[in-house]
Structure 1
């Protein structure tokens, strides 16, 4: 199997994987360019290179999809990223809104030996601070049926599984309310521009009023 010790290829693989991890639509070259902040022509050349290595499948102007080999390598990068985020929060005193950019840098530099030591030190965690599942060393990833809080009907009761880490401000807002992965909540009103819910935080009921864009960053058990 070709090895992708190239940080740029690792970024591409992780971005393609992450795009479809929580929704079904495949990523297009234009969306990939936007997410990576590069020119479309750069994406075209890199996708050709990755296809030649057997990491992605792609037809001109069509979606970019990971091959089995590409998925294996993408999950290895995802594992490094999420273990680093967990380590930074649990051991280094970082807030969960501060770790994404640090992990983006460290994921390309960390050795397999150090990653294994971090995993053991943390007690083999299954999820990172945002609730994203951490792939095992052999690429196994545990998933639960879920839905977006923004799409949950009134009366739906579930546990928060995952909160997107793309907007640190959203993470800070939720943290102030004590809301995070593992918190149980019930949607009380889903008809307005904002989602109303009651959460159980530290044994007490907390009423939440969330903008739909915030609720669209939260996944709960189905």
Structure 2
């Protein structure tokens, strides 16, 4: 049995590996989980002793195949719960992340199966993040790009958005920006604002927010396992 904290660390390492590759520095893990460096070092050693991570001094940490499987299971629980809360319990997509963070460690495999059946095995959660399959195979490489990387005149479709900042999600909700929303980049200001057109409306987004919105070119086919993000 692993503690909730151990699972949280494995999920954090998985996300960091997915975004920037392995190995992952202990300082990056500390920032991700909000703990001090000594606390992270102690936990990483504990995980290494259990065969869940490999640690190389001065280089960082990498999940073992067993550690990756555990991380994928936690991610699957989290994203299925987010989808269930949003679709069947009338939770806003702004609020589901925190609830799923609490519940993800405490559901049985039978409960997971029933939730997946009720939802008809969804490919993505409310924020557009891909849900690992029941076989816990690694997700495909992320082929999306940040909205902030695009130039005026580009036509894109929102694939997913970061799910951990409630104020940011509320802001995007008010702006009408959700997974599946087509956008035209109207202007990229040198002082950090990205203006997009949604139907006949224009919205100016801070560059920091635009960086967290992952998009694909308009017309591109979307696979059900498109990338990994902030579970």
Fold shared by both chains (TM-score > 0.5): yes
Equivalent pairs counted in the alignment come to 215
**Per-residue CA shift, 1:17-57, capped at 9, x if unaligned?**
11233344753112212222222222112111211222111
Question: Where does structure 1 differ by over 2 angstroms across 4 or more consecutive aligned residues?
Answer: 20-27, 140-144
Secondary structure of 2:102's counterpart equals helix
1:58 CA displacement = 1.2
2:218 is the alignment partner of 1:218: no
After TM superposition, the score normalised by the length of structure 2 is 0.87
Matches within 5 A, 1:1-222: 5-24=2-21, 26-140=23-137, 141-142=139-140, 145-192=143-190, 193-199=192-198, 204-222=199-217
C-alpha RMSD of the superposition? 1.7
Relative to structure 2, which stretch is displaced further, 208-217 or 36-45? Answer: 36-45
Compared CA separation, residues 219 and 11, structure 1 to 2 (3 A): same
Structure 2: 5+ residue stretches without partners: 218-231
Q: Residues of 2 paired with 1:39 and 1:23: CA distance? A: 21
1:143 CA displacement = 5.4
- Decide whether the 8 Å contact of 1:29 with 1:62 is kept in 2: no
**Per-residue CA shift, 1:156-207, capped at 9, x if unaligned?**
21110110012111110110122100111111212432001112xxxx4321
Match of 2:223 in 1: none
- Decide whether the 8 Å contact of 1:131 with 1:162 is kept in 2: yes
Q: Residues of 1 paired with 2:55 and 2:165: CA distance? A: 30
Secondary structure of 1:219's counterpart equals strand
User: RCO higher in 1 or 2 (8 Å CA, sep ≥ 6)?
Assistant: 2
